[in-house]
Amino acid sequence: MIVRPDRPLRENIRENLLQGRIVGQVSRGSHYTLFFKVLPDRTGRDYDLEILLPLHAHQRLGIAVGREVTVSLKKSAIHLIPTAPVAAAGQTR
């Protein structure tokens, strides 16, 4: 969720706040896919998150590439996916 700077933070969005910049966007008709880069850049990746945003919210928030925004990740929406361990040479699974 992109935090609106003109509104107070509700209790459920105060945790897991990330500051960053929109580094790309793709219009998908009824929504946009936003490419979000956490600041300061410590990963060296092109972007860190893909955010799906409905068209009406995109327009209301005035989203544009280069704009700095704050994003809130709800605890209930975060899912950690571990990477698969690499098999040692000569081992099969």
CATH number at residue 36: 2.40.50.100
Residue 60 lies in a domain: yes
What is this structure's pTM? 0.75
Please give the pLDDT value at position 14. 75
Identify the DSSP state of 2: B
Contact criterion met (CB below 8 Å) for 8 and 70: no
Residue 90 lies in a domain: no
Bridge partners (DSSP) of residue 53 are 32
Tally of structural domains, the chain: 1
Residue 70 lies in a domain: yes
Q: Which domain holds residue 25?
A: 11-77
pLDDT tens per residue across span 40-86: 877 788 888 899 999 999 999 999 999 999 998 888 777 778 877 76
Residue 38 lies in a domain: yes
Mean of pLDDT values over 20-36: 95
Residue 89 lies in a domain: no
Please give the pLDDT value at position 87. 63
Residue 83 lies in a domain: no
| C-alpha 34, offset from chain centre | 8
Compare 25 and 1 and report the one with higher pLDDT.
Answer: 25
Return the half-sphere exposure (C-beta side, CA atoms, 13 A cut-off) of residue 43: 10
Please give the pLDDT value at position 55. 95
Contact criterion met (CB below 8 Å) for 71 and 17: yes
> Which of 30, 36, 21 is closest to 67 using CA atoms?
21
Residue 4 lies in a domain: no
pLDDT tens per residue across span 3-20: 877 777 777 677 788 899
Please give the pLDDT value at position 24. 96
C-beta contacts of 5-13 below 8 A and 24+ residues apart: 5/70, 9/72, 12/74, 13/72, 13/74
Residue 2 lies in a domain: no
